[in-house]
Structures are given as structure tokens and as C-alpha cells.
């Protein structure tokens, strides 16, 4: 049985490979297609083509000389490229007719509008080739929508990083020249040196956030997960934010259920919580509170960071986890924010197979909730005392 299966696999690989080489091979320009076909009947399919089309991952369509669809894969119909026995994409139909006339393989990229209401357009990389002497044409369309989206994100990321790095670097260069010109004015030197320290700190935070983001943005699972006490991670994150909170007389309060544990990476959890707390402090008025609380939620642990800040407009809530997106650009620059904090939180959640959600109302504050898998699959405290227990407040 194993030998038979191996033979069938080799045969299938040979058929698919032969068709790919003959009809789908990337080309840099036009080339004459030479597709030997055995036992071909007018109006029918070449021998073995139907079986090959059934297993191709691409959207595949075979047209006859009258532009009727002889065979279409389920993907081609699902994308709306084919309806009944007609090819619905006008650009593809025009390309198929050109190929039928001169027998040359052609490649192109097309965009097809969604065939259902509210459905986004789909980008396809297409290859069209003649399929024998009776006017049949093979159309292969590969969905490139996600590739285009990722490429657009990459370009935006590079552009944003370049801009964000140039700003503090340019400021440092300008301030250094100013200090050099004001060497005889001690007060000016002191003032500009303070500005240089601020810009240097901003540059340091940006580089650190970029390194962290590049390490976790692949959404790969945590490589070496281990038990992580939530209480310790919360207190560690609060300790790292104490200085900025104290500068605005903001009280950091830890509460909720003690003794909970997650399965993951402690340093990543602390990084995510630090970013959430930093954000809460940056967008809160003076003399308010930021509360960090944990509670069991079935097979997960939920850690919430709540503030009494300015809130987030509903129109911006879907975008706040994007890199460099800022609700209030002027305020973010004044507080030294890099625009990467919430993107890091989102990727930390993904690395733990968790999620991050937000509730916010303008003028009433925001609550970010990080939901992560509990240790052992059940969120129970490590101590027998179950209940809501306030931990401590700090300034």
C-alpha cells in the first residue's frame, strides 16, 4: 500500500509539475507556448488536465474557443471570477482572447471588485496560456491581496521609522550646534543640554521599542514558555512606571485576584503592561489614578489597566494598535511617546495566543484588557483564598 501511495504521489507531482512548467512558468516578456497535448478533442479538456486543476491551490479556469468555461476550480467561483459558464472579469477575458489569437503566454496583475455587498476588492497575479490547437485557454489567478497589504504595511513602517528617527537625530544635531555657538552663555548651555537629554532619551526609547517589536512581530508562539506569576509582573511593570506617574501625582493601584499565573514569557508580559501603564499615565490628568487588576476568566487570565484620562474617540479605536498611529500627535510628541507601545502589546498578546481589547469613552477614561492563557488551562489562584483583594498603591 505504501509503495502504491508513493507511486501515485510521484505521478501527481509529475502531472502538476509538467503543467506548471508548460503554462505557469514566470516569464520576463512574451514567449511562444509549446504545450504538447495528447488525445485532445474539440470542445473537451486535454487528458489529465481536469484532475490537475482539481488540486491546484490557485483559481484555475479553462475556456473554450467561444469563451465558455469548460472547467473552473472552486476557488475561481468563490472569488466571483466565474459565474455559470462565463468568466466575469473583463480584463481576464480580454487577456484570454489575446493569448488565443497569437498563442503567447501572458502575465498580468488585475483587481477584481468584491462580488458580494461590502466585500473588498481582490488583487490577482494572473497567467494565461494556450491549451492546445482547438482554442482552449488556461487561466490561473493567484490571490495577492494579503501580499499587497503586507507590502504596504512594510513600506509605511519603513517610512515612519525613517521619519521618527530623523526627528530626534536632527534635533540633537541642531542643539549641538547651538550649544557650540552659545559656549559663553552658561544658562543657554544648561537649557540646550537639557533639551539634548530629552531628545536622546526619546531616541533611546524608540530604538528599544523597535528592537522589541522586531523580536515579536512575527506572531510566533513564545519559544520557551514557563509559569509566570501575574502579581510579580504587575508590580515589576508598576515599578518601571513609578517615576513618570509621580511626576504627575498619579497614583498607581494594583488590585484584583492574587496568585494567578499564566503560561508564557515574564519579560514580554512586563513589557506589555509597562506600555499600557505608560500610556495610561501619559493620557491622564494630574492627581488621578491608574488601576491595574487581574481576574480569572475561564481558561484565561484577564489583566486590565484603567485610567481616568481623556479617552479615545470611537473612530480611532480600531487603529490604535497600528504602529506609529497616534490619536493626538501633538500630545504624544510632548510626552515622548514613540507610537509603538500598543503595537507591542498587540504582538505580545498574539505571541501568547491571547488578545487585547479596549473600552473607552471620551472624557471618561479607557480600560485596556489583556487576555492570556492561564497556567494549566484553568485560571485559579495559587493560594486558597479566592476573591478580590487590593494589593497596593504607589506614587
Q: In this predicted model, what pLDDT tens digit does every residue of 307-348 receive, in sequence order? A: 998 888 887 777 777 776 666 554 444 455 556 778 889 989
Q: What's the rounded mean pLDDT across residues 206-214? A: 76
pLDDT at 304: 95
Element (H, E) at 116: none
Is pLDDT above 90 for 367?
A: yes
- Residues 6 or more apart in contact with residue 267 via CB below 8 angstroms: none
The answer to whether the Cα torsion of 210, 216, 218, 219 is positive or negative is negative
Could you please report the per-residue DSSP string of 250-289? PEEEEEE-TT-EEEE-HHHHHHHHHHHHHHHHHTS-TT-E
Q: What's the rounded mean pLDDT across residues 365-375? A: 92
Contact, 288 vs 309, CB < 8 A?
yes
The phi-psi region of residue 186 (left if phi > 0; otherwise alpha if psi is between -120 and 50; otherwise beta) is: alpha
Calculate the alpha carbon distances from 289 to 12, 108, 307, 390 in Å: 66, 58, 6, 14
pLDDT at 6: 41
| Distance separating alpha carbons of residues 94 and 36, to the nearest angstrom | 24
Is pLDDT above 70 for 131?
A: yes
Q: What's the rounded mean pLDDT across residues 204-217? A: 75
Q: What residue has cell string 502575465?
A: 107
Return the top range by mean pLDDT from 5-19, 142-156, 173-187, 287-301.
287-301
| Distance separating alpha carbons of residues 114 and 228, to the nearest angstrom | 45
Calculate the alpha carbon distances from 209 to 183, 232, 240, 346 in Å: 35, 22, 15, 13
pLDDT at 38: 37
Mean pLDDT for the chain overall:
77
pLDDT at 330: 45
pLDDT digits (tens, 9 = 90+) for 20-45: 434 444 433 344 443 343 344 445 66
Is pLDDT above 60 for 207?
A: yes
Contact, 106 vs 127, CB < 8 A?
yes
pLDDT digits (tens, 9 = 90+) for 66-90: 889 888 888 888 888 888 888 888 8
Is pLDDT above 60 for 129?
A: yes
pLDDT at 218: 61
pLDDT at 303: 96
Amino acid at each position: 500500500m505504501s509503495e502504491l501511495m508513493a507511486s501515485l504521489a510521484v505521478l501527481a507531482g509529475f502531472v502538476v509539475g509538467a503543467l506548471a512548467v508548460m503554462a505557469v512558468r514566470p516569464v520576463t516578456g512574451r514567449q511562444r507556448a509549446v504545450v504538447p497535448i495528447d488525445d485532445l478533442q474539440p470542445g473537451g479538456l486535454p487528458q489529465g488536465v481536469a484532475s490537475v486543476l482539481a488540486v491546484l491551490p490557485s483559481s484555475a479556469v479553462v475556456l473554450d474557443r467561444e469563451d465558455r468555461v469548460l472547467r473552473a476550480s472552486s476557488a475561481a467561483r468563490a472569488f466571483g471570477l466565474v459565474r455559470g459558464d462565463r468568466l466575469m472579469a473583463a480584463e481576464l477575458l480580454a487577456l484570454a482572447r489575446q493569448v488565443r489569437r497569437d498563442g503567447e503566454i501572458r502575465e498580468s496583475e488585475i483587481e477584481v471588485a468584491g462580488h458580494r455587498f461590502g466585500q473588498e476588492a481582490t488583487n490577482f497575479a494572473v497567467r494565461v496560456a494556450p491549451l492546445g490547437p482547438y482554442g482552449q485557454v488556461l487561466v490561473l489567478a493567484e490571490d495577492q491581496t494579503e501580499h499587497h497589504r503586507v507590502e504596504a504595511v512594510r513600506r509605511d513602517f519603513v517610512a515612519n521609522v525613517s521619519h521618527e528617527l530623523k526627528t530626534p537625530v536632527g534635533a540633537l544635531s541642531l542643539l549641538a550646534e547651538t550649544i557650540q555657538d552659545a559656549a559663553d552663555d552658561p544658562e543657554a548651555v544648561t537649557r540646550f543640554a537639557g533639551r539634548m537629554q530629552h531628545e536622546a532619551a526619546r531616541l533611546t526609547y524608540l530604538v528599544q521599542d523597535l528592537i522589541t517589536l522586531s523580536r515579536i512581530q512575527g506572531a510566533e508562539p513564545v519559544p520557551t514558555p514557563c509559569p509566570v506569576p501575574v502579581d510579580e509582573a504587575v508590580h515589576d511593570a508598576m515599578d518601571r512606571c513609578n517615576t513618570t506617574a509621580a511626576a504627575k501625582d498619579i497614583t498607581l493601584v494594583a488590585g484584583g485576584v492574587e496568585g494567578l499565573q499564566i503560561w508564557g514569557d515574564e519579560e514580554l508580559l512586563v513589557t506589555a503592561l509597562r506600555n499600557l501603564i505608560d500610556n495610561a499615565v501619559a493620557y491622564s490628568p494630574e492627581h488621578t489614578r491608574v488601576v491595574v487588576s487581574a481576574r480569572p476568566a475561564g481558561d484565561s487570565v484577564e489583566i486590565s489597566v484603567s485610567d481616568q484620562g481623556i479617552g479615545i474617540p470611537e473612530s480611532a479605536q480600531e487603529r490604535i494598535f497600528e504602529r506609529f498611529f497616534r490619536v493626538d500627535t501633538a500630545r504624544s510628541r510632548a510626552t515622548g511617546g514613540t507610537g509603538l507601545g500598543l503595537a507591542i502589546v498587540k504582538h505580545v498578546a498574539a505571541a501568547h495566543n491571547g488578545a487585547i481589547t479596549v473600552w473607552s469613552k471620551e472624557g471618561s477614561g479607557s480600560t485596556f484588557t489583556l487576555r492570556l492563557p492561564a497556567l494549566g488551562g484553568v485560571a485559579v489562584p495559587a493560594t486558597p483564598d479566592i476573591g478580590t483583594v487590593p494589593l497596593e498603591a504607589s506614587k
